């Protein structure tokens, strides 16, 4: 079969590899759709991910497909079932799992290789984080479950309530998901975006107000001016991962508010924060990483309910052989993704759904 393998920084190759076989408790899934992802782009740019993968390794982690082989002992699934298999599963026995922090599991099992014709699903993920996809849900929509689960957890951890004001810094795929999920929860969303094409996308996904960085003299002042009485937002979500945007986030939140540093900068990155404002403003700073089985199910419920704008989120389609070129273009934002454009978010590319060619096994 054909698979995309990451060898290092901006080194993604298509290779012929053996079709995986299912061991005890495992599944083999024919990939129906795999999605491009900001995390995958970050890994492609850096050449590694501290937790998820170390090259050379099969690439991609957002997928849904059809079961083609069932390992011994598996009773919950059969050949022909349509499933979404998440990219990880916790052990549920370590210190962090026992303290309700499964996303920090000491033995968190990751699975990569979505940009391929087939993928083996490890037994622990089959047991804890594989879900049956209803027949009326396109597989590319179901594949949105993984990133959406991370966002759902980030929103839950932020404690935002209906009627609150939230600032979301960044209008990439994750930032837009935060805007949409917050809006669905009754939160008033102010988006801070960089590019003109992101303005329309932010509004489509729930932002009532949008501040474009290049269009105002002082981003922090312009954003705070849109909050009630100019006091700042109840919650600020940072979804860019730069020192500047981390610092903006702290300056945009109100006294007694909360900042969630959702974007993960490279290891060793330092930021400067006003400790006086933090202390006397009684500001909560936190970060959210990854998802849990519970938030995966909440996210899947949003997708299957039709409340989440899945169609608008998938803005391009391609085939497996296009994957290296897609990531090269994403690095430089040079044009749209090859394939069919839905136009759901105007001129902005959000996610491309990759549909593997159907070659011989």
* Domain-embedded: residue 291: no
The whole domain housing 178 covers 157-286
**Reported confidence tier of residue 358, pLDDT bands at 50, 70, 90:** low
Q: Nearest-CA neighbor of 62 among 135, 139, 2?
A: 139
User: How high is the pLDDT of residue 265?
Assistant: 86
CB atoms within 10 A of CB 70: 20
User: How high is the pLDDT of residue 342?
Assistant: 36
Same domain membership, residue 321 and residue 281: no
What six digits make up the tokens of 71?
């390992």
Same domain membership, residue 315 and residue 212: no
CB atoms within 10 A of CB 14: 16
Q: What is the pLDDT of residues 273-331, one digit of tens each?
A: 999 999 999 999 999 999 999 999 999 999 999 999 999 999 999 999 999 999 999 88
Same domain membership, residue 31 and residue 136: yes
Percentage of the chain with pLDDT > 70?
93
User: How high is the pLDDT of residue 361?
Assistant: 41
* Domain-embedded: residue 150: no
User: How high is the pLDDT of residue 49?
Assistant: 63
CATH of the domain at 196: 3.40.50.720
Same domain membership, residue 54 and residue 162: no
Same domain membership, residue 72 and residue 165: no
State how far the Cα of 349 lies from the Cα of 314, in Å rounded to an integer: 8
Q: What is the pLDDT of residues 17-29, one digit of tens each?
A: 999 999 999 999 9
Same domain membership, residue 326 and residue 208: no
User: How high is the pLDDT of residue 48?
Assistant: 61
More confident residue, 164 or 358: 164
- Mean predicted confidence (pLDDT) in 105-130: 97
CB–CB of 319/32 below 8 Å?
no
- Mean predicted confidence (pLDDT) in 105-116: 96
**Reported confidence tier of residue 344, pLDDT bands at 50, 70, 90:** very low
Same domain membership, residue 127 and residue 24: yes
């Amino acid at each position: 079969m054909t698979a995309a393998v990451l060898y290092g920084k901006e080194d993604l190759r298509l290779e012929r590899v053996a079709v995986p076989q299912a061991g005890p408790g495992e599944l083999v899934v024919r990939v129906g759709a795999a999605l491009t992802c900001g995390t995958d782009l970050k890994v492609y740019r850096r050449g590694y991910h501290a937790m998820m993968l170390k090259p050379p390794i099969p690439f991609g982690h957002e997928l849904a497909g059809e079961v083609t082989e069932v390992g011994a002992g598996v009773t919950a699934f059969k050949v022909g079932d349509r499933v979404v298999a998440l990219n990880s599963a916790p052990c549920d026995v370590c210190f962090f799992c026992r303290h309700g922090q499964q996303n920090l599991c000491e033995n968190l099992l990751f699975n990569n290789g979505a940009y391929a014709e087939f993928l083996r699903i490890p037994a622990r993920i089959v047991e804890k984080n594989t879900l049956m996809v209803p027949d009326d849900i396109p597989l590319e929509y179901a594949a949105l479950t993984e990133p959406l689960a991370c966002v759902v957890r980030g929103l839950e951890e932020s404690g935002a309530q209906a009627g609150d004001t939230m600032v979301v810094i960044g209008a990439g795929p994750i930032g837009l998901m935060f805007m949409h999920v917050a809006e669905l929860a009754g939160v008033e969303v102010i988006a801070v975006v960089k590019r003109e094409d992101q303005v329309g996308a932010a509004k489509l996904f729930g932002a009532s107000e949008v501040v474009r960085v290049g269009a105002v003299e002082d981003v922090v002042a312009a954003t705070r001016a849109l909050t009630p009485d100019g006091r700042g937002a109840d919650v600020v979500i940072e979804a860019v991962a730069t020192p500047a945007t981390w610092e903006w986030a702290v300056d945009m939140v109100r006294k007694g508010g909360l900042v969630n540093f959702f974007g993960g900068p490279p290891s060793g990155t330092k930021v400067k924060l006003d400790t006086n404002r933090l202390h006397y403003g009684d500001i909560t700073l936190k970060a959210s990483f990854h998802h849990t089985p519970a938030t995966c199910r909440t996210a899947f419920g949003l997708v299957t309910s039709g409340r989440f704008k899945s169609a608008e989120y998938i803005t391009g389609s391609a085939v497996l052989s296009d994957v290296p070129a897609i990531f090269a273009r994403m690095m430089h934002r040079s044009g749209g993704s090859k394939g069919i454009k839905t136009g759901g978010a105007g001129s902005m590319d959000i996610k491309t759904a990759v549909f593997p060619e159907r070659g011989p096994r």
